[in-house]
Every structure is written in C-alpha cells, then in structure tokens.
A and B are shown apart, each in its own frame.
Chain A
Amino acid sequence: DVKVTQSSRYLVKRTGEKVFLECVQDMDHENMFWYRQDPGLGLRLIYFSYDVKMKEKGDIPEGYSVSREKKERFSLILESASTNQTSMYLCASSLLGTGSRNTEAFFGQGTRLTVV
C-alpha cells in the first residue's frame, strides 16, 4: 500500500521559532510537493522538488524553505514562524509525468500547525 507519511498530525509553535515539517514517501517517486490548505483558498503550492537537492518555488514560497537530501524525504522549513502561517500543511508525491503519462499524486494526512 502506497504511503506518504508526515511526521506530526498536530503542532503548536511560538512566533519566531524555526519549524521543521517532515515528509517521507515509500513509492520511489521523483516529484514531491508541499501545499498549505486554508478555507476558501484551496490547496496552494509552496514548493516542489523533482530530484534530490532540486527544488522549485510554487505560488506562495515566501517565509518557507525546503530541503531534499534523500529521494524519499522532503522537509518544509518555516524560518521564523508567524501567526499567518497557521494552517494545514499537506505533503504529496508523484511519479514524474510527461505528455500522455498520467501521474497520481498521493497525499499525506496533513499537519495542522498553529503558531501562537
């Protein structure tokens, strides 16, 4: 059974803290993604990666960074947490898709982060 595992379901951090969200996939997927989900705004892409040490900015990268040192692991880093980063964070992975190749993205259960 395919699996994307996020290290925490719930997290409470203080303003200004450095926060690490970890994601591991066991499907040997090339692509990995970090999204945040907010009511009325849907899933917004923060960063994605298609290979070890390779990353690209998504639509809302400000205030975040990422790390991919191993193919199966993709970390999201909040350099200095702020209250407007309180959100649900979802990690996903997929095979690399080109042209006619359909690629399903598999999601983790999400991490509910509260910054106080």
Chain B
Amino acid sequence: QQQVKQSPQSLIVQKGGISIINCAYENTAFDYFPWYQQFPGKGPALLIAIRPDVSEKKEGRFTISFNKSAKQFSLHIMDSQPGDSATYFCAARKLTGGGNKLTFGTGTQLKVEL
C-alpha cells in the first residue's frame, strides 16, 4: 500500500523547459512534505520542502505547489538544465509514537536533454 503516490515514473524534458512531478497522499496526519534529489551513486539530498499551511514555496528554479483539499503536491523545475538530470522523490512526514515516520514516493527519473 503506497501512502505517497508519485508520477510519472520517468520524464524527458528539453533544456530550458519545465519539469513537473506530481504526488498525492491520503493520510491527513502528514505535516511536512519534502522533495529529495538523488544522483547516481549518492544518497538522496533535500531539495525543497513545504508545510500544509502554505500553498506554494519557491527556491530558485524549484517550486512546490501544494493543494491541501485535493491532497496533492507537485514539484516544478523551471528552465530545466542537464545538471538537473536525477531521480526525484516526494515524501511526507508523520508524527508517530515518539518519533517521525518519513514515507517516500516511488521516484521520478528526470532526464534533461540538450
């Protein structure tokens, strides 16, 4: 049972284009929604994150759009560059017991072509 559903599985975008990755969740107990970027041979690293009381967050070319009523959030990469080619994961955090459970989506492999 996938608690965080991510699409598409792979994406090819031309240089300068917009990359869009979508995620959806069911559990309203999630209180923090980060996106992670992973390059081959490396562990994932935090890219940008949003809380559910905010509808949009922008950091440079990266923007998260958050729709609380639809339980959906998305990552937009503006002016996509070949260096953005990586695997992207959305995630959601939930308080449980005494700690935090961090659940990830299935990942999107992005390739930016020249």
Contacts and interface: CB of A to CB of B under 8 A. Distances in A.
Interface stretch (A11-19, A78-86, A102-110): A102-110
B106 A40 contact: yes
Interface string B41-52: 111111001010
A22 interface: no
Interface string A5-47: 0000000000000000000000000110101000011111100
A9 to B, nearest CB: 9
B107 A98 contact: no
B104 A31 contact: no
A98 B43 contact: no
Contact of B99 (A30, A40, A90, A108): A30
Contacts of B95: 97-98
B93 interface: yes
Contacts of A108: 43
The list of the 5 closest CB pairs from A to B, nearest first, reads: A50-B99, A107-B43, A42-B106, A43-B104, A42-B107
A94 B34 CA distance: 13
Contacts of B102: 31, 33, 45, 48, 92, 94, 105
B99 A56 contact: yes
A50 B96 CA distance: 10
7 contacts: A43-B107, A51-B98, A56-B101, A58-B101, A90-B43, A97-B31, A109-B43
A90 B46 CA distance: 15
B14 interface: no
Interface in B24-58: 31-32, 34, 36, 41-46, 49, 51
Contacts of A30: 99
Contact of B103 (A40, A45, A99): A45
